[in-house]
Chains A and B, each alone.
Chain A
């Protein structure tokens, strides 16, 4: 019988700890398939964050670093400068990248570090139990914003893809999601393009992936997908925000 589908060899056999309905697993799969498709798995070094993906070093079947909270872009910078011919990526959540690690990601982009960042935005701190993130929507209830995020108190969510796209050192910045098969296919293309641009040495690349957190959103997996599509996407539009391989019109 022909094998029509099998797990990517870029993923280990470790059992993932992600909650039912969480889309981290899909995003891991897309990154893993990309490393294999581009034949860079053996020369890849990944950097895991602090957050829900903290154990990513056990899931990706390549050399990995576990970084301190928010510092993955700095760790990746160190690795890439020592090993410029290697493929280096970070995998970070919204608390990691958009709060405690804002300086590191902005400056990695500014320097045009030839790394790829997979930025998983689920509008909440997942691992620590659903606290407010910088990406939490105005009005969205969290354990530290029990009455909903107040604009007066905390402002509006930060849009990192748009922010980083203003930086000259960024070569490719796109926001995608993985809530439908069509979105997953598009996300895969974005991730692949980001890694290709890294290997061409053109600059910093980031794919922001809007992701669900049914556990901390207090929803079923299906409700979470709908909420993401209907509520998150209007606040975080899906688009290519920067692509230096496209000629300016």
Chain B
């Protein structure tokens, strides 16, 4: 199929519709407003639901209701708006409701800036809401990958009854790239027998709930969720590795900085320094073991983490590398994007050159 030029945010929305999303609730915020705008224009063609809510809090709770009623549902926002959704995300994890949540990250904290950043990594991977819970968090690096992962994001959500976050940065949301639309078949998923569609007098009531007032019951529920998270860790880790052969430097980066790291690796190559790039695609579950294995390769002298933040994922890199090689960090925050030259120089410094 021929490639088409797509803007990231519009590709997100189109890919969601193609993945069977028939319900979208959201609130405008830069730099992701093209997602609700696209949904407003195109969801009606599918017979689906588009609704602009009064707040991100309302939007995520509409998602809670729609998901509980059995719909394939999505919301999207950007950093400050995602903060407002944390209450609902925690409730959805507690009530085991599937949905896809897109975060097109901008600079923070607070209102920050509307320019691209990656300062929401802790919030996405550690949980910004209350309680012991996890989300599946996928971090594509190209618009093609956004499109390719969307079907899987919805399917994973349904398979595990868990919200899945697509963690993008504003660069991916706002730029245009060629996209080839390939058809990813939907997974074979169990029916939503738990959904609240009305008993019709034929079954006991279904209840969507995260309240377990008895401590033993609440503990059992937490253990049940933990078992689910363990299964996700076993089965759903995703990453890519480029140019690991003989690499002295191992860059670790997700999203846009992974592309900067590859550009930096080319600059280093021109100077006779071999550099590889390890790119987590699922940032929860995080590919700790694969990263440690890559870093353990004899040729690797230093691991350099590149982020559009002041250093958040680097904590996971240190957990993964676990001391087998030195880990350093290069990053800029608040909408400033590190240049490939800066990244290459940071790598040389890590090598002591």
Contact surface of A with B, Cβ cutoff 8 Å: 12, 41-45, 47, 54-55, 57-58, 60-68, 71, 74-83, 86, 103-104, 106-107, 111
A68 to B85, CA, bound (A): 12
A50 to B57, CA, bound (A): 16
* Among B67, B87, B209, residue most surrounded by chain A Cβ atoms (within 10 Å): B209
CB distance from A41 to the nearest CB of B (A): 7
Given contacts A42-B198, A42-B199, contact A64 B91 (CB under 8 A): no
Which residue in A57, A76, A82, A107 is a CB contact (below 8 Å) of B209?
A57
CB pair A63–B198 under 8 Å, yes or no, is yes
CB pair B196–A74 under 8 Å, yes or no, is no
Query: Other CB < 8 Å A-B pairs besides A42-B199, A54-B211, A78-B68, 9 of them?
Result: A44-B198, A57-B207, A62-B205, A71-B57, A74-B53, A78-B64, A81-B66, A103-B58, A107-B53
Q: Can you name 5 A-B residue pairings with CB atoms under 8 Å?
A: A42-B198, A45-B197, A71-B58, A77-B62, A82-B69
Task: List B contacts of A104 (CB < 8 A).
Answer: 54, 57-58, 61
* Among A12, A60, A82, residue most surrounded by chain B Cβ atoms (within 10 Å): A82
Asked if B276 is an interface residue, CB under 8 A from chain A, the answer is no
Given contacts A47-B65, A64-B208, contact A78 B198 (CB under 8 A): no
CB distance from A22 to the nearest CB of B (A): 18
CB distance from A234 to the nearest CB of B (A): 33
Which residue in B25, B65, B201 is a CB contact (below 8 Å) of A42?
B201
* Among B64, B71, B197, B210, residue most surrounded by chain A Cβ atoms (within 10 Å): B64
CB pair A78–B66 under 8 Å, yes or no, is yes
Task: List B contacts of A111 (CB < 8 A).
Answer: 51
A68 to B213, CA, bound (A): 15
Q: Which residue of A lies closest to B209 (CB)?
A: A66
Q: Which residue of A lies closest to B55 (CB)?
A: A103
A-B contacts, CB under 8 A, total: 134
CB pair B57–A82 under 8 Å, yes or no, is no
CB pair B64–A67 under 8 Å, yes or no, is yes
Q: Which residue of B lies closest to A66 (CB)?
A: B209
CB pair A68–B91 under 8 Å, yes or no, is yes
A57 to B212, CA, bound (A): 12
Task: List B contacts of A77 (CB < 8 A).
Answer: 51, 58, 62, 65
Q: Which residue of A lies closest to B65 (CB)?
A: A78
CB pair B207–A66 under 8 Å, yes or no, is yes
Residues 58-95 of B contacting A (Cβ, < 8 Å) = 58-59, 61-71, 73, 87-88, 91, 95
Q: Which residue of A lies closest to B25 (CB)?
A: A78
CB pair A82–B71 under 8 Å, yes or no, is yes
Which residue in A62, A75, A103, A107 is a CB contact (below 8 Å) of B64?
A75
A66 to B213, CA, bound (A): 13
The 3 closest A-B pairs by CB, nearest first: A78-B65, A63-B196, A74-B61
Which residue in B58, B67, B70 is a CB contact (below 8 Å) of A74?
B58
Asked if B23 is an interface residue, CB under 8 A from chain A, the answer is yes
CB pair A75–B197 under 8 Å, yes or no, is no
Task: List A contacts of B202 (CB < 8 A).
Answer: 42
Task: List A contacts of B206 (CB < 8 A).
Answer: 63-64
Q: Which residue of B lies closest to A12 (CB)?
A: B205
Q: Which residue of A lies closest to B195 (CB)?
A: A63
Task: List B contacts of A82 (CB < 8 A).
Answer: 23, 49, 65-66, 69-71, 73
A7 to B51, CA, bound (A): 39
CB pair B207–A81 under 8 Å, yes or no, is no
CB pair A42–B200 under 8 Å, yes or no, is yes
CB pair B88–A65 under 8 Å, yes or no, is no
CB distance from A89 to the nearest CB of B (A): 12
Which residue in A54, A61, A65, A83 is a CB contact (below 8 Å) of B198?
A83
Which residue in A61, A67, A81 is a CB contact (below 8 Å) of B51?
A81
Given contacts A54-B211, A74-B53, contact A64 B196 (CB under 8 A): yes
Task: List A contacts of B207 (CB < 8 A).
Answer: 57-58, 63-66
* Among A83, A107, A111, residue most surrounded by chain B Cβ atoms (within 10 Å): A83
Which residue in B66, B200, B208 is a CB contact (below 8 Å) of A66?
B208
CB pair B61–A75 under 8 Å, yes or no, is yes
CB pair A74–B65 under 8 Å, yes or no, is yes
CB pair B63–A78 under 8 Å, yes or no, is yes
A66 to B96, CA, bound (A): 13
Q: Which residue of A lies closest to B95 (CB)?
A: A66
CB pair A103–B69 under 8 Å, yes or no, is no
Contact with A along B190-234 (1 / 0, CB 8 A): 000000111111100111111101000000000000000000000
CB pair A66–B58 under 8 Å, yes or no, is no
A64 to B205, CA, bound (A): 7
Task: List B contacts of A58 (CB < 8 A).
Answer: 207
A55 to B199, CA, bound (A): 19
A44 to B205, CA, bound (A): 10
A44 to B200, CA, bound (A): 9
Task: List B contacts of A106 (CB < 8 A).
Answer: 54
Task: List B contacts of A79 (CB < 8 A).
Answer: 65-66, 68-69, 196
A62 to B199, CA, bound (A): 6
A86 to B51, CA, bound (A): 18
CB pair A71–B61 under 8 Å, yes or no, is yes
Task: List A contacts of B210 (CB < 8 A).
Answer: 66
